[in-house]
């Protein structure tokens, strides 16, 4: 069997089907957690895992899981996976490529017939993006014991429907969510293949990125409460204009990030005003801040500067604001031994590679401070992602699959 050819064909076949699991609005891929599109993808992934020889099931929080037992019972497990949900109008490769490559690795491990010191568990995680509930990594956090009843009842979508209610719709019993927590001492390692989603590998023409650090991040929703008034008759000094206050913070985010001089980034990707009328001064303005940095202190610096501006401009006119943290994650570091093993495989196959930081968040960051974890990136064409233009090649995905497969094979025969 030509392994690379089979990998490319199987990865292509799976991705071609999975891109149909989307809201059909002709604008990229939208596959939100617990949606019909997610259900269609989950059922398909379960079948693909079964065809690869895994015992597969869909768990109560919507993860799709496939298990290949070790030679001996009660052995530790190597885990591998990524997410199968997407952003709104995203691409065909973010997350899901890591899932189909993981299935491919499991298929090859099974076919190899080699000794299996460890079991192998493949996971297609649900709700990594945080599109509906704001936080993200629901599926991986549930497996690492970071999700409880308060979490699933307090986080709601834009219609006020909680994760708990969505789990019931999914056919689960949310009272049992804490049962998903894994015994992480039993997890030997966690691998994730993912598209880079940025311009580095595409620019340097390297085929593989081996991640050594995933940046820290802060995600929050800010709500500015002002006062609705007539846009024409209200003098400027009498206004409590919620949009004007919000925009004075939003417009400074780029400066805050550049001032850190270490690759920090800050984004406002969502803004909603009330009553959202041309001739009414806004009574309320909601906006998100997504602040990231390889240095945790920089995240705190940027947050502090934003809060100072919000304090100043609301105090000045007698308005108010609320700061609701949705996700706070410190930077995490990958396991150097696994990084070195993957580098050896790249050198063996003469793949051009580099160690690099991930500016994107991933399920791997949820495991990294508890389990030996590593990520492998493939190039993103023109560095584009979270948009329909997202593209990575099947050939690069097959190379990433190959080096992870060979690394896991080495681990499977560890003494
Ligand atoms: O936002 C991120 O970095 C990831 O794509 N969820
Ligand atoms: Mn992703
Ligand atoms: Mn993403």
State pTM to two decimals.
Answer: 0.94
Across the chain, mean pLDDT equals 97
Q: Can you give the pLDDT at residue 1?
A: 73
Question: Which part of the chain has CATH 3.40.630.10?
Answer: 3-215+331-412
- For the Cβ of 128 lying below 6 angstroms from any atom of ligand 1, the answer is yes
Q: Is the dihedral of CA 109, 182, 101, 169 positive or negative?
A: positive
Looking at all shown ligands, the one closest to residue 84's CA atom is: 2
Nearby residues of 374 by Cβ (< 8 Å), 6 or more positions away: 189, 190, 191, 192, 210, 211, 334, 335, 338, 339, 342, 364
The CATH number corresponding to 216-329 among 1.10.150.120, 2.40.30.170, 3.30.70.360, 3.40.50.720 equals 3.30.70.360
Determine the atom of ligand 1 nearest the C-alpha atom of 361: 3
Q: pLDDT tens digits, residue range 207-249?
A: 999 999 999 999 999 999 999 999 999 999 999 999 999 999 9
Question: Which part of the chain has CATH 3.30.70.360?
Answer: 216-329
- For the Cβ of 147 lying below 6 angstroms from any atom of ligand 1, the answer is no
Distance 355 CA to ligand 2 centre (A): 19
Q: Can you give the pLDDT at residue 4?
A: 93
Position 377 confidence tier, pLDDT thresholds 50, 70, 90: very high
- For the Cβ of 196 lying below 6 angstroms from any atom of ligand 1, the answer is no
Determine the atom of ligand 1 nearest the C-alpha atom of 359: 3
415 pLDDT above the threshold of 90? no
Looking at all shown ligands, the one closest to residue 91's CA atom is: 3
- For the Cβ of 56 lying below 6 angstroms from any atom of ligand 1, the answer is no
Domain 3-215+331-412 CATH class label: alpha beta
Cis omega (within 30 of 0) for bond into 275 = yes
Q: Look at residues 29, 32, 193 and name the one whose alpha carbon lies nearest to residue 97.
A: 193
On whether the CB atoms of residues 310 and 323 are closer than 8 A, the answer is: yes
Q: pLDDT tens digits, residue range 289-346?
A: 999 999 999 999 999 999 999 999 999 999 999 999 999 999 999 999 999 999 999 9
Structure-token pair, residue 354:
């580099």
């Amino acid at each position: 069997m030509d392994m690379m050819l089979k990998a490319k064909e199987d990865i292509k076949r799976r991705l071609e089907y999975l891109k149909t699991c989307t809201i059909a609005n002709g604008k990229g891929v939208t596959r939100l957690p617990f949606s019909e599109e997610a259900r269609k993808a989950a059922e398909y992934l379960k079948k693909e895992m079964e065809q690869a020889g895994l015992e597969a099931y869909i768990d109560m929080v919507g993860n799709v899981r496939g298990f290949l037992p070790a030679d001996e019972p009660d052995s530790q497990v190597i885990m591998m996976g990524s997410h199968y949900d997407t952003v709104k109008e995203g691409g065909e490769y973010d997350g899901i490529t890591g899932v189909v490559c993981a299935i491919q690795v499991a298929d090859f491990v099974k076919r190899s017939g080699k000794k299996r010191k460890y079991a192998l568990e493949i996971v297609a995680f649900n709700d990594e993006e945080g599109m509906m509930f704001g936080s993200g990594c629901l599926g991986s956090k549930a497996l690492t014991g970071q999700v409880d009843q308060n979490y699933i009842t307090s986080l709601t979508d834009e219609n006020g429907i909680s994760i708990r209610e969505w789990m019931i719709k999914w056919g689960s019993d949310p009272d049992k969510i804490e049962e998903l927590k894994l015994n992480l001492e039993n997890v030997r390692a966690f691998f994730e293949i993912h598209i880079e989603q940025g311009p580095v590998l595409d620019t340097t023409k390297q085929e593989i990125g081996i991640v050594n650090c995933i940046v820290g991040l802060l995600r929050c929703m800010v709500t500015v409460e002002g006062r609705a008034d007539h846009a024409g008759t209200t003098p400027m000094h009498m206004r409590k204009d919620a949009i004007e206050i919000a925009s004075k913070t939003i417009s400074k985010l780029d400066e805050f990030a550049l001032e850190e001089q270490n690759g920090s980034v800050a984004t406002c990707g969502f803004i909603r005003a009330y009553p959202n009328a041309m001739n009414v001064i806004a009574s309320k303005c909601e906006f998100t801040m997504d602040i990231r940095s390889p240095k945790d202190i920089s995240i705190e610096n940027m947050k502090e500067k934003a809060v100072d501006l919000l304090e100043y401009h609301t105090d000045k006119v007698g308005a108010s604001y609320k700061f609701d943290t949705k996700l706070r994650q410190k930077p995490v570091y990958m396991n150097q031994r696994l990084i070195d093993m993957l580098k050896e495989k790249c050198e063996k196959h003469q793949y051009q590679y580099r160690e690099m930081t991930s500016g994107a968040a991933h399920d791997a960051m949820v495991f990294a401070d508890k389990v030996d974890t590593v990520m492998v990136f493939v190039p993103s064409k023109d560095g584009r992602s979270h948009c329909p233009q997202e593209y990575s090649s099947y050939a690069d995905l097959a190379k990433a699959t190959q080096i992870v497969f060979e690394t896991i094979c080495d681990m499977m025969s560890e003494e």
